[in-house]
Structure 1
Amino acid sequence: MSDPLSEVIALLRPRAPFSKLVDASGAWRVRRTEVGQVYYCLLLAGRARLEVDGKPPMDLCQGDFVLVPAVQGFSMSSADPVPPPGLESHPLIRPDGSVRIGPEDAPVEVQQLIGYCSFGAPDAELLVPLLPDMAVARGEQRLGDLARLVRDEALADRPARDVVLEHLLQVLLIEALRCSSETGATPGLLRGLADDRLRGPLRAIHAAPDRAWSVAELAREAGLSRSAFFTRFNRVVGMAPMEYLQSWRMTLAKHMLRSRQHSIAEIAAKIGYGSTSAFSSAFSRRMGAPPAQYARGA
């Protein structure tokens, strides 16, 4: 059976990691606005508070791992003591690349491994909304080991470094989302796969995107009435079933057009269009350009 989460992460092509070790003491707050980047943090010691724009503050303890697939703006601060309003700390970058917040001679109270990466897929805007806007895993040793491997590989100059990093990041993202105990109420693919009724239809779509699916057929996969399935899918995944199917087909089409290993007719057949003209019309409506033009540009 198809694994939708693995497919989405692989197509996103995570890359260009930046990872650093941060030591802090006293009252501190650091504000960042790295729009569109993937942010992750592993708390190695102490406690800290994460505030992502538009979400309530979250306290992190030793061993906690947090992943935010598309950061719009966030701050990380001390949890005890609570920093005064308006405080903005100025991190010091050490010669070894690690970061110090607070007096250099003070005992280290908080230690964290933080990192950023970006998605190399040109159609990331279609895929990122399928993920939760935040995932938190509490005390997962595997995530800590993976985060350290990513950091070590990012700092090294070994052969095939970029290939190794891309695969490590894929595993890190999948493990973080799979282990997450807190994804909030954000609709998306992960919530859909966690839903006993929707897991089957989602896997069916990914296993056979070329099939002429209808809402009624997918509802039978879910064991629900057509109206109950439509309402539940929309609420949990964040879009209507046919919209999800169309979005996934277009994502696959763009991937195949970029690879240039298939003709437009072959792509049309692989994603469920009865003719090249029907596929070209649907692709043009969705992407603003016909498939041949998109392939030349890619």
Structure 2
Amino acid sequence: MSDPLADIVTLLQPAARYSKLVSGAGTWRVERQETGQPFYCVVLEGSSRLSAEDKQITLREGDFILIPAAHAFTMSSLDDGPGIDPLTVTMLPEETRHGDPEGAPNARFLVGHFAFGSPDAALLVSLLPRIIHIRGDSRLSAIVQLVTDEARAERPGKNMILARLLEVLLVEALRSNAGEKAPLGILRGLSDTRLALAIRRLHDNPAREWTVEQLAGEAALSRSAFFNRFRRAIGLTPMEYLISWRMALAKNLLRQEDIGIQEIAERIGYGSASAFSTAFTRFAGLPPSRYAEQTKTISNASA
């Protein structure tokens, strides 16, 4: 049976961008305006405050933060005081220092960004929590250290290894945040054993002509109970989720040179190319052939 969480992370196509060591001393503050790319941070020493996604979080040693789509955030020392401008930045030999360049650090972090290569990353990210905060998870810290070591070294197969490590990092971070208290989205849905059965069946065979009744049967629930439970957990109706997942798969397939529209239609549950084209155009705002052309043009330009 499919693993929906692994399916989503694989389709996101995470790729390494950079990571670095950062420290803060005295009174310091970091203000960032980001472009919606994923950001992560591991607290190696000390403590600090993070303001992001309408939340204020006190970070301690061993904490892990993942923001799947970072737009704006602030990190700062816990205490404000007189002295040097808190926005001062100094490049030291092995790390970036914020605040007092001469003082003893009160916090040290490993921070990094990676990119999602999926043409439908925004849709997939919308199914994930806006911010993930995990405390004292040695497994995640070990994986992040492997990512950092690989990113800084020049070894054969570097890009392939980084891609696999980032997939593992994402899955580990996401499943560590799963449970009944998980934010609205796929993690909460998968933490519900009844809903998880239906979601896995849907991912296992997205081309099947699913109905709400059939999915409810997989979850051993009545139609109305399943429908309401699904929408409360994930934020979409079962059919909205099915269509969204089919279209995410379609967008990924349209990037490939050797697959025609008819084959894509059949793979994701449409009886004809015209039926798929109509559904895709309604969802994406342009026909699949046009979307494929635009995607390949962008890909060639960035190559």
Contact 2:86 2:98 in 1 (8 A): no
Alignment of 1:1-298 (within 5 A): 1-55=1-55, 57-79=56-78, 81-82=79-80, 88-96=86-94, 98-180=95-177, 186-298=183-295
How many Å separate the matches in 2 of 1:274 and 1:234? 27
Greater Cα offset, 259-268 or 277-286: 259-268
Q: 1:240-274 CA deviation, whole Å, 9 max, x = no partner? A: 11010001001111111111232221111111112
Percent identity over paired residues? 49
Contact 2:51 2:57 in 1 (8 A): yes
Structure 2 residue runs of 5 or longer lacking an equivalent are: 296-303
Query: Deviation at 1:184?
Result: 6.4
Contact 1:146 1:168 in 2 (8 A): yes
Greater Cα offset, 200-209 or 25-34: 25-34
Q: 1:107-160 CA deviation, whole Å, 9 max, x = no partner? A: 222111111112111111111101111112211111111111111222222233
Greater Cα offset, 242-251 or 195-204: 195-204
Contact 1:280 1:291 in 2 (8 A): yes
RMSD: 1.9
Greater Cα offset, 36-45 or 105-114: 105-114
Contact 2:140 2:169 in 1 (8 A): yes
Contact 2:43 2:59 in 1 (8 A): yes
How many Å separate the matches in 1 of 2:115 and 2:91? 22
How many Å separate the matches in 1 of 2:22 and 2:11? 31
Contact 1:12 1:120 in 2 (8 A): yes
How many Å separate the matches in 1 of 2:37 and 2:57? 20
Query: Deviation at 1:294?
Result: 2.2
What secondary structure is seen at the aligned counterpart in 2 of 1:229? Answer: helix
How many Å separate the matches in 2 of 1:157 and 1:291? 39
How many Å separate the matches in 2 of 1:26 and 1:242? 53
What TM-score do the two structures reach when normalised by structure 1? 0.92
How many Å separate the matches in 1 of 2:51 and 2:203? 35
Greater Cα offset, 150-159 or 64-73: 150-159
Query: Deviation at 1:16?
Result: 3.8
Query: Deviation at 1:182?
Result: 8.6
Structure 1 residue runs of 5 or longer lacking an equivalent are: none
How many Å separate the matches in 2 of 1:296 and 1:39? 30
Contact 2:53 2:130 in 1 (8 A): no
What TM-score do the two structures reach when normalised by structure 2? 0.91
4+ residue runs over 3 A deviation: 181-185
How many Å separate the matches in 2 of 1:253 and 1:221? 25
Quick one: structure 1 residues 172 and 264, their matched pair in 2 at CA, closer, same or farther if it must change by over 3 Å? same
Query: Deviation at 1:95?
Result: 3.6
| Residue correspondences, number | 293
